[in-house]
Structure 1
Amino acid sequence: MAITPASDGLARALREELRRAVRGEVRFGAAERTVYSHDASNYRHLPLGVVKPADADDVRATLALCREFGVPLVPRGAGTSVGGQALGPGAVVLDFRRHVDRVLEVDPETRTARVEPGAVLDDLQAAARPYGLRFGPDPSTHSRCTLGGMIGNDSCGAHSVAWGRTSDNLHSLDLLLADGTELTVTGPLSPAERARLRERPGREGELHRALQDLAAANLGTLRQGMPDLPRRTSGYALDALLPERGHDLARAYTGSEGSLALLLGATVRLVEAPAARALVIAGYPDETAAADAVPALLPLRPLTVEGMAADLIAALLAAGRRPPALDRLPAGECWLFLEVGGADEPEALGIARELAQAVRRERSAAVSVVLDPGEQRQLWAVREAGAGIVTRLPGGKEAWPGWEDSAVPVERLGGYLRELRALLGRHRLHGVPYGHFGEGCIHMRLDFPLTERGRLPEFREFMVEAADLVVAHGGSLSGEHGDGQARSELLPRMYPAEVIDLFGRFKRIWDPANLLNPGVLVDPRPLDADLRFTGRDLPLALPYPQDGGSLLKAVHRCVGVARCVDTKSGVMCPSYMVTAEERHSTRGRARLLAEMLRGAVPGSDGAVTDGWHSEEVREALDLCLSCKGCAADCPVHVDMATYKSEFLYQHYRHRPRPASHYSMGWLPLTLRAAALAPHLAGRLLGSPHSSAVLKRLGGIDSRRRLPDLPGETFERWFRHRVRRARRGAAPVLLWPDTFSNLLDPEPAKAAVEVLEHLGFAVRLPQGPVCCGLTWVSTGQLGVARQVMRRSLRALPPGLPVIGLEPSCTAALREELPRLIGRAAGDVPGRVRTLAEFLDQSGVELPALRPPLQGLTQVHCHQHAVLGTAADRRIEARIGLANQVPDSGCCGLAGNFGFERGHYEVSVAAAERVLLPAVRAAGPDTVLLSDGFSCRTQIAQLAGGRRAIHLAELLRRAIREQSRPERTFR
């Protein structure tokens, strides 16, 4: 929304009052409003501001001030809502994640836990695990979804067929009403308890009397007008107020999408977790056959009955690498994932075999039983990534939420799917169905024409017909994700007018002033309004072939499933893991870029309107390490490193650049010049005074130690060495990257010795070469292209190209064709890492004597672009018992960690996992890292420990083999 002078004054006044009253963070700037203007839905609403409360008192103070100023308030967890219920135009968004996020207590005796609303589900599971307990509901976003968000949406997950929805696992809720009243509501009550609550003084008694009277006056409507099915999450759960259900206020509140009261805390019930699990996978010819098979399997009480069609696998393979565990899928075009549990592995296996036999008897389906926990995790990861994977259909078309999670009685699921497929055909729409077949709930994203404003009536027409179809099957518009703006308008098609009227009265009893999340469930906004897809492309320098040449389409890949805000594992997103600021997440940066392109449309209401000169976007991208973790780990492969290069190129085009872009971006040429007089350059760098001056002029943080220069470059050593290659040896080309040639030649020297020992003849390019990465990462794309083209002229044809530095090797494989297109020729396909080359060549490798323990820091670009499977195989062959921490980026990331203003983030990223692991490693543990940046970070921050390249480890093994009397330490 464009802020008018009046509302601008209101915003300023409210902001200042909040800053005085709240200990947490108060953010009303354009960047913060932008990144909170989206969730995982199709909608965009600019809030007035964002509050990140430090504690429950901050929540109370924020509510009081919003009530005083008449400003709506929207509670928010991880922001993964697909219906638009975590948004509010002109509202204050209350983000519970950062501080009001504790698991307060786990009581194994009562099997309960007390949590704050911002507590993440995985944290609750970790706290309950030592007692053999867990929280039953487990949505696919379990690594980042909050308990408050799960209660707001009545979340379910794969195991709800066994353990129920969130509403089935609640003991009590601590609530804050819009007028400031606090009360605790519980599950089913006896008549005497209900009578006592009616007599409570003040607003609490008034609330209980009004709710009990509402139910008593409408018993017939509530009993007959509310569909009875396990996955009904559309509308308010008013039937929970019926006397035969104990006037269950906790259940009635759950699924209200933040529209009734704010949640301050909850006591949840826990279930016993099976000690061992097995996974039965049943293959069927299509999804309707799989759906038809489900009712006969439910009496066998599996823990999960999840459906996944071949389209989902095709979309996964079109987007990235094939998980090896897919080989365990039996023949078929749709699969049911049937998990069972037991007290131990033999018991779980026995139950799984009985279930597999039942599957074969019922439908003659193909069946596999997977017992290995690692393979089970891989297969479940495919299912959990579904919401992201299917945003791009196998053919590359974009698909969107909207008709996301409809649910029908399970015995009608097959028929519903057949008719839904026919409806899609009539509307020329396509989607990939998957979901909770055991409870009749189907997830499906469709290629709605949402980016074509002239075709939006087609979107509305389909949504209305789809709503009528699911109601005709006795189903619910939503079976898991709630209504929000996407489906609230359709509720009158599911419920009779009397129930819709009761929804309004129910909302007003709780929130008479309509302060909390207005426009959700009651008095909804149109389902085809406020769409987030407005925008146009500005002139671009990079091709974006997977997105039709459009940066707008590229940033719209982000649908908000928020894998990037999981701070516990993976490479993505190192700066967010440190700052926990939404604008520093991959999702937040994508939102800012989308807002920048929205602002390029004349007359738009974009909050970011300076185009490529936007300071909000520049600031958010400044802490992007260009690690490429998102390109691999994001389910939809948002490639923020590429978008950052584009932005930097456009932002600084014909403008002065930061000093570090010259000192670090042009480092290959600077180092070549220094190599002409290495001793003089070494003295300059070694002098405290001259080093300080160089760092100040170069935009380098004063706390960073500049790398030492070698006395001799690798290329010079190579020219003067004694050649040991045997006659007739197969030639290979070793790429002398800037780091291996001019900063740390030992890995390259070691690689030459290893390759020659194994029977290869090593050659170098016929002149200086560079992959151009330092210019790419600083957005100097024109120079990068020139450098790449010149380097290609120095390469002889046909030879395999072995890269030692992962970032340079990845650049040759990925950036080279991206920047110079067909001029790259066959070079990207000839590029191999040393491990890949040795693994593919099948040569016999020396074994370490004795076998050693290793600790490896994987370079981010290797993780994202090259992969590490060959490295692990090589290490196993030579006898290295290796540990690879899930540590993400080392934090140095080429130029990033050296640049002024990045030191704290760089060090904090290293301190998350990498440095503690290095310090804990024994003195005999070999520290391995192929990346120069990673080795530098370890050398500078890990108290003198030194990491080596795989080539150096192989060289040591070869030398040990020839000197058996020595022991490697």
Structure 2
Amino acid sequence: MTRRHNAATEQHTALREALHARLRGEVRFGAAERTVYSHDASNYRQLPAGVVKPADLDDVRAAVALCREHGVPLVARGAGTSIGGQAIGPGALVMDFRRHLDRVLEIDPDRRTARVEPGAVLDTLRAAARPHGLTFGPDPSTHSRCTIGGMIGNDSCGSHSLAWGRTSDTVESLDLLLADGTELTVGGPTTPEQRARLRSRPGRVGALHRDLQDLAAGHLALLRQGFPTLPRRGSGYALDALLPERGHDLARALTGTEGTCAVLLGATVRLTPAPAARALVVAGYPDETAAADAVPALLPYRPLTMEGMGADLIAALQAAGRRPPALDRLPAGQAWLFMEVGADTPAEAEESARALAAAVRGEQRTAAVRVVADPAEQRQLWAVREAGAGIVTRLPGGAEAWPGWEDSAVPPERLGSYLRGLRALLTNHQLKGVPYGHFGEGCVHLRIDFALARPEGRASFRRFLEEAADLAVAHGGSLSGEHGDGQARAELLPRMYPPELIALFRRFKQIWDPENLLNPGNLVDPRPLDADLRLAGLPDRRLPLVFPYAADDGSLAKAVHRCVGVAKCLDTSTGVMCPSYMVTGEERHSTRGRARLLAEMLRGDAVPDGWRSREVHEALDLCLACKGCAGECPVQVDMATYKAEFLHHHYRRRIRPAAHYALGWLPLWLRIAGRAPGAVNRVGRSPALSAALKRLAGIAPERPLPPLPAETFTRWFRRHRAQHPADPGAPRLLLWPDTFSDRLEPHIPRAAVTVLEQLGYAVEIPDRPVCCGLTWISTGQLTTARRVLRRTVGTLPPDIPVVGLEPSCTTALRDELPALLGSDAARSLAGRVATFAETVDRHAAALPARPGSAITQVHCHQHAALGTEADRRVTARLGLDNRHLDSGCCGLAGNFGYERGHYEVSRAAAERVLLPEVRAADPDTLVLADGFSCRTQIAQLADGRRALHLAEVLAEALAAAPRDGGPTG
């Protein structure tokens, strides 16, 4: 074993050196990169030899040649969202196409085609086609990050394939590189004369065409009879595309081969006209099998989609704490069909929808039906389906659910019977899952609570998959309906296909890749379906942790394994998650990459240094702790918490970076500095002294030191209260004097006091210094944070509502405070905390008009944990035409943007959307930002623009409004 390991190490070292010498792109063989590319969205873990990110096609050619020379297998990878394990390979070189080969090269609106590079993201293609009234038909749920190359590899489908087909239905031609260096382009159906010319070509290309044509000609009966007929057959090689009556369609035969036959260099795909108007029909049924049984009679109405889901999907959604507003608008029932129709005009779309709704009622009079023509309401209802599908990795009872039998498909007319059998099979194996899917095409998605960490659970996993495969085949179905086979299902292909056809699959692979260099172990000669499971081999020990991880049974390992690889964090087009990845584009800086690294740290193999791991520290160093993942990740991975936990243990009994002492203890230093603000400000204005102070404190030299006010808010408030006693009959309210507002921007809490008193409150503040502990938490100084929080809880009076002005501090009081202390007093305090907007929103009728335009930068913690509904209602009541920016994190993120070494990433995050939007805003447009970090970033980098807290806007509006009466408490 040692000799074999040493030989492999030498082989990989030689390959790495050769790649460094030949490639212009990135070559990564370090532990961090190997770790984050050892997973995709499947159950499997396979450490690669290394990773390359080719800069151009010449890099691709060189990498393939060097893999062949050194005998190292190659795995081509897009977004790594494959559920069957197709995007990983043990000891392989993983080639990531996303970084550079990601362009849409041409849109031809007349021919309705597009030429793309393999790493082009689906949404990028759709955006390029949209101005021409066109779209790319297949639309899997990962559309914001999946690549066209990956879609061709897996023959992806999505919800609209009922109308627009699968990826294989769109491919016009493929530009290919074979493992031996041969390049060729293959297209769709050909005539006998064209095939004869292809056979006669010289060299490897002609030999390949002769072998493929002879393979088909010698087995015509088998190819005609060996494949089931159904719309979603995604298993095995599509060798029936080689039949003469189908034109010997090589492009179709190669689509869905999972990178096992050739490397894709580029593709030409067909586009489809996008309907100008759509309408939605939602039908409720007594159960999912009733919904499935209704499908065949409704297909003749040619809906664009026919998606099915049951009440247990809604239960899973509600168990995750999410309740989309449209949930109450679902028609009565325990299962639903979502059916979309399209037309040239809204009136025509609604007419088609009503005809479809009438057909539903005609087929099953007990069905409740809704026709939705309003586009906004359609989006809200679709959000119910999409949100539910995104969280079924956790079942309503909290159990983890895993892929494996993820996307089987049967003929639609047999779907009801298949679902009944599948439910019975789950019951027999004492397993649970939530079926849903593309009912119009008989495709069922299902994640199941397999106990993959235990030997008996893995044995049950195998037995269930074998019996489920037999059930699907008995119904004339396919093991896979859209995600491909990979390691998850390829071993089961002999249950679906006769031995002669399995032998043809092997021969097809050999024709293209005789040395088995490309993605070995998938489809042909597969690795066992229960080998390489990522939960197997995890150490069975409990670590002493600070955070409780209550939703994960107190286990950090279980928490980080929430990440199942669907890669929403790789979507750089919208949202907060993940700001550092949006800047660097490095997988290890994504939420998924960091979760993988933490999981490997806990496993101890590839990342063996435990809490002292340099690889994990480097990846987490650029985590802004923005909490975007806690709000946007479908499975609520909370990297900010994991980072704080890691830093706590990483620096335990060790010297910390200077910034941890300077910025982590900022509340203390500001309290001391507040005794002599003039002297401190003189230091800040002195270039030499401030530079020396920043070097000593580990602060980025590019950042100016914030000036201190002459008087803190708490001092002003005590003087104010002495002069203006509170009304003893007014409702009491405690305004939280966070460090940033109190010590750096006291005008904001002063404005808040003005507003709250005019609304009739008796405003109070704590009689001693308090702190939410945020700066200690974000730097991982959790022992100190607990001590600070205990003092805070002991200081505050019981039962009085608390209003927070700073979103990060408010979030800390609501979330981190009860998590770190776990006491009834802490939970009571957390339950009494409200945002300023939530408090003001209760008095909307008392607010004056303040018309105008505004843009709002939402603080990340507010986006993730607090919500913006109240803020939106308040600004609407003021009459502001307010647009919430889709700008993500401002990039400063508390201490992050002030720490030395973070400035470039911090600024780049802001320059992505926020700063251009602020600079472009009309001078009369208000810039709203309740977060201190957001306001600071704008003040320092937005060319003199100033952002306002909502309290400032309300105070100004109240001051300008005529006073008709007294307070409205």
Provide the residue aligned with 1:878 in structure 2.
878
Q: Does residue 355 of structure 2 align to residue 357 of structure 1?
A: no
Provide the residue aligned with 2:967 in structure 1.
none
Q: 1:654 and 1:825, CA in 2 relative to 1: closer, same or farther beyond 3 A? A: same
> 1:319: how far off?
1.5
**After the TM superposition, which residues 520-559 of structure 1 pair with which residues of structure 2 at under 5 Å, given as runs?**
520-533=522-535, 534-536=537-539, 537-559=542-564
Provide the residue aligned with 2:783 in structure 1.
782
Q: Tell me the distance in 2 between the aligned counterparts of 1:231 and 1:718.
A: 68
**After the TM superposition, which residues 571-590 of structure 1 pair with which residues of structure 2 at under 5 Å, given as runs?**
571-590=576-595
SS in 1 for 2:525: coil
**After the TM superposition, which residues 221-300 of structure 1 pair with which residues of structure 2 at under 5 Å, given as runs?**
221-300=222-301
Q: Tell me the distance in 2 between the aligned counterparts of 1:878 and 1:799.
A: 28
> 1:825: how far off?
3.8
Q: Does residue 941 of structure 2 align to residue 928 of structure 1?
A: no
Provide the residue aligned with 2:343 in structure 1.
342
Farther off after superposition, 837-846 or 446-455: 837-846
Q: Is the 8 A contact 2:326 2:384 kept in 1?
A: no
- TM, length-normalised to structure 2: 0.97
Q: Is the 8 A contact 2:451 2:457 kept in 1?
A: yes
Q: Tell me the distance in 2 between the aligned counterparts of 1:312 and 1:421.
A: 15
The Cα offsets for residues 769-805 of structure 1, whole Å up to 9 and x where unpaired, read as: 1000100000000110111111112211211100000
SS in 2 for 1:891: coil
Q: Tell me the distance in 1 between the aligned counterparts of 2:908 and 2:718.
A: 42
Q: Does residue 602 of structure 2 align to residue 593 of structure 1?
A: no
> 1:353: how far off?
1.5
Q: Tell me the distance in 2 between the aligned counterparts of 1:398 and 1:817.
A: 25
Give 1:408's match in structure 2, choosing from 410, 417, 422: 410
The Cα offsets for residues 844-887 of structure 1, whole Å up to 9 and x where unpaired, read as: 11111xx1100100000000110000000000001111011111
Provide the residue aligned with 1:83 in structure 2.
84
> 1:47: how far off?
0.3
Q: Is the 8 A contact 1:538 1:597 kept in 2?
A: no
Provide the residue aligned with 1:373 in structure 2.
375
Provide the residue aligned with 1:196 in structure 2.
197
Q: Is the 8 A contact 1:726 1:756 kept in 2?
A: no
SS in 2 for 1:646: helix
What amino acid is aligned across from residue 336 of structure 1 in structure 2? L
What amino acid is aligned across from residue 677 of structure 1 in structure 2? A
Provide the residue aligned with 1:167 in structure 2.
168
> 1:370: how far off?
2.2
Give 1:478's match in structure 2, choosing from 477, 480, 499: 480
Provide the residue aligned with 1:967 in structure 2.
none
Q: Tell me the distance in 1 between the aligned counterparts of 2:834 and 2:405.
A: 44
What amino acid is aligned across from residue 558 of structure 1 in structure 2? C
> 1:680: how far off?
1.6
Q: Tell me the distance in 2 between the aligned counterparts of 1:286 and 1:694.
A: 68
Provide the residue aligned with 1:560 in structure 2.
565
Q: Tell me the distance in 1 between the aligned counterparts of 2:706 and 2:314.
A: 46
> 1:384: how far off?
3.5
SS in 2 for 1:498: helix
Q: Tell me the distance in 1 between the aligned counterparts of 2:769 and 2:349.
A: 61
SS in 2 for 1:308: strand
What amino acid is aligned across from residue 630 of structure 2 in structure 1? A
> 1:843: how far off?
5.0
Q: Does residue 736 of structure 2 align to residue 735 of structure 1?
A: yes
What amino acid is aligned across from residue 475 of structure 1 in structure 2? G
> 1:723: how far off?
2.1
Farther off after superposition, 949-958 or 9-18: 9-18
Q: Tell me the distance in 2 between the aligned counterparts of 1:654 and 1:324.
A: 49
> 1:456: how far off?
1.6
Q: Tell me the distance in 2 between the aligned counterparts of 1:161 and 1:573.
A: 33
What amino acid is aligned across from residue 84 of structure 1 in structure 2? G
**After the TM superposition, which residues 648-659 of structure 1 pair with which residues of structure 2 at under 5 Å, given as runs?**
648-659=647-658
Q: Is the 8 A contact 2:235 2:485 kept in 1?
A: yes
Q: Tell me the distance in 1 between the aligned counterparts of 2:937 and 2:675.
A: 27
Q: 1:153 and 1:387, CA in 2 relative to 1: closer, same or farther beyond 3 A? A: farther
> 1:687: how far off?
1.7
**After the TM superposition, which residues 456-855 of structure 1 pair with which residues of structure 2 at under 5 Å, given as runs?**
456-533=458-535, 534-536=537-539, 537-599=542-604, 606-721=605-720, 722-723=723-724, 725-726=726-727, 728-822=729-823, 823-848=825-850, 851-855=851-855
Provide the residue aligned with 1:210 in structure 2.
211
> 1:727: how far off?
5.6
What amino acid is aligned across from residue 456 of structure 2 in structure 1? G
SS in 1 for 2:575: coil
Q: Tell me the distance in 1 between the aligned counterparts of 2:469 and 2:601.
A: 35
Provide the residue aligned with 2:435 in structure 1.
433
Q: Tell me the distance in 2 between the aligned counterparts of 1:193 and 1:385.
A: 49
Q: Tell me the distance in 1 between the aligned counterparts of 2:382 and 2:590.
A: 25
> 1:185: how far off?
0.7
SS in 1 for 2:882: strand
SS in 2 for 1:172: strand
- TM, length-normalised to structure 1: 0.97
What amino acid is aligned across from residue 37 of structure 1 in structure 2? S
The Cα offsets for residues 460-494 of structure 1, whole Å up to 9 and x where unpaired, read as: 11111111110000000000100000000000000
Q: Does residue 43 of structure 2 align to residue 42 of structure 1?
A: yes
Q: Tell me the distance in 2 between the aligned counterparts of 1:699 and 1:27.
A: 30
SS in 2 for 1:305: strand
Provide the residue aligned with 1:602 in structure 2.
none
Q: 1:54 and 1:449, CA in 2 relative to 1: closer, same or farther beyond 3 A? A: same
* Percent of pairs with identical residues: 73
Q: Tell me the distance in 2 between the aligned counterparts of 1:266 and 1:426.
A: 46
Q: Tell me the distance in 1 between the aligned counterparts of 2:830 and 2:842.
A: 17
> 1:726: how far off?
4.6
SS in 1 for 2:402: coil
The Cα offsets for residues 806-858 of structure 1, whole Å up to 9 and x where unpaired, read as: 0000000000000001240411111000110121355511111xx11001000
> 1:314: how far off?
1.5
Provide the residue aligned with 1:390 in structure 2.
392
Unaligned runs of 5+ in 2: 965-969
The Cα offsets for residues 3-22 of structure 1, whole Å up to 9 and x where unpaired, read as: 93322222221111111111
> 1:371: how far off?
2.5
The Cα offsets for residues 192-246 of structure 1, whole Å up to 9 and x where unpaired, read as: 1111111111111101100000000000111111111110010000000000110
Q: Is the 8 A contact 1:629 1:864 kept in 2?
A: yes
> 1:637: how far off?
0.2
Unaligned runs of 5+ in 1: 600-605, 965-969
> 1:321: how far off?
2.7
Paired residues, number: 956
SS in 2 for 1:266: strand
SS in 2 for 1:4: helix
Q: CA RMSD in A?
A: 1.3
The Cα offsets for residues 18-47 of structure 1, whole Å up to 9 and x where unpaired, read as: 111111100000000000000000000000
Provide the residue aligned with 1:938 in structure 2.
938
Q: Is the 8 A contact 1:714 1:740 kept in 2?
A: yes
SS in 2 for 1:732: strand
> 1:317: how far off?
1.8
Farther off after superposition, 538-547 or 126-135: 538-547
The Cα offsets for residues 877-906 of structure 1, whole Å up to 9 and x where unpaired, read as: 011110111111000000000000100000
Q: Is the 8 A contact 1:405 1:477 kept in 2?
A: yes
